[in-house]
Amino acid sequence: MYKLLSHNDLDGVGCGILAKLAFREDVKVRYNSISGLNREVEWFFDNVDKNTFLFITDLSVNEKNEQRINEFYQDGGKVQLIDHHKTALHYNDYPWGHVVVEDEEGKLTSATSLLYHYLLSHQLIEESAAITEFVELVRQYDTWEWEKNDNQDAQRLNALFFLVSIDEFEEKMITRLQTSEHFHFDEFEKKILDMEEDKIDRYIRRKRRELVQTELNGLFAGVVYAESYHSELGNELGKEYPHLDYIAILNIGGKRMGFRTIHDHIDVSEVAGQYGGGGHAKASGCSLTEEAYTSFVTETFHLEPIPEDARRNRYNLKGSSFGTLYKSRREDYFLLHQINDHEWAIQKGQKRLEQTYANFEEGESYLKRNYEVWLVKDDDFVQYLMKQVKNHIH
């Protein structure tokens, strides 16, 4: 018999699916939250059958259980821990630990991809295109590589995982991987995934109108309240407002908050660390402590949302060397335009600001950070130009 204890996210459940493909009725699988695993491991040892091979995937145990696993192993028990988190690397000191963050080719790993290689190399599973494709989607989702590669199928696989129960997901995937040549979504899944995407789009549009900006410890943050779709929100709002260093997403009911960034020069695990949390460079989180509440809620609650840029312009366009017109709440107009090959300048009303910028993005970032300007509509732009012409004539 085999027993697999795994994480209850897509990567963890991917491990369960592989185990069931490999061992069929001979494996019992239990999915756990990060905090729930230790109880489950204790239960295993209290009710131990020495012949059961224990797998632990995508999760870490506490020190007491680390000890118990090692004793079990030294008494001849069979156990294998497989993980890809940096924080678990010390398990490699044990013969039963297998932790790899990056493979030989420099690709980030996931628990599912590591378990697949383990099962293949021990000839416990047969290689197939469908399984290999499924494992790669899980890996790309779990490592955020899908965002860089814009791998929609990876994102859709995770969306499907949340739309159905774990049991249903497991069952569907096992059948599909056993019977299909290639991994695919069926017609019904495509339909519900499309509906889900529309729903997320509408949610993000609404949240975009609620975003406020604030400067904290030298970084510019966009602050928004949201209970769901944190990854999608962080990604879309980050791309919409590249002048913001990161997006802070507050879940008041859950008394937690998340941080997301699209920028390589920002590490949001450091931001979360300032409030006792942690995570990855691109995504992190912390509890909504008194201090975090003060910084992100009390001190931003009175702020007006960031005004949105005009969306359907044909003339007043971003990056146009001829000039792009912005307006501030104080009704000041700013024209950002190229003055030579390597410089962009800002005209504020009749006056040119002294500072110049190496490219359009830097100029816009300066304006949005310091004046909370927005891109004006074409009508406004045309009126502004007509006024400029008049001023010239008189």
Q: Residues interacting with Mn ion, by CB under 5 A?
A: 11, 58, 111, 142
Question: Which CB, 100 or 111, lies closer to Mn ion?
Answer: 111
**Residue with Cβ nearer Mn ion (7 or 207):** 7
Map tokens 């699916």 to a residue.
17
Contact assessment for residue 137 and residue 122, using Cβ atoms and an 8 Å cutoff:
no
Which CB sits closer to Mn ion, 58 or 232? 58
Nearest approach in angstroms of CB 230 to Mn ion is 17
Q: What angle do CA 343, 349, 355 make, to 5 degrees?
A: 30
Do 287 and 347 meet the contact criterion of CB atoms below 8 Å apart?
no
Which residue's CB is nearer to Mn ion, number 12 or number 258?
Answer: 12
Taking the complex as a whole, how short is the minimal distance between the CB of residue 84 and Mn ion, in angstroms?
A: 6
Smallest distance from the beta carbon of 51 to Mn ion, in angstroms? 29
Question: Of 145 and 197, which has the nearer Cβ to Mn ion?
Answer: 145
> Closest CB to Mn ion belongs to which residue?
11
Tell the smallest beta-carbon distance from residue 144 to Mn ion (Å).
Answer: 11
Question: First-to-last CA distance in the chain?
Answer: 92
Min dist CB 134 to Mn ion, Å, is 15
Q: In what order do the strands lie in the sheet with 97-99?
A: 27-32, 2-7, 53-57, 79-83, 97-99
The whole-angstrom separation of Cα 283 and Cα 300 is 22
Structure tokens belonging to residue 382: 């045309």
3-state secondary structure of 91: helix
130 alpha carbon, distance to own chain's centre: 25
Q: Report phi then psi at 305, rounded to 5.
A: -60, 155
Min dist. Cβ of residue 130 to Mn ion (A):
21
Nearer to Mn ion (CB atom), residue 110 or residue 295: 110
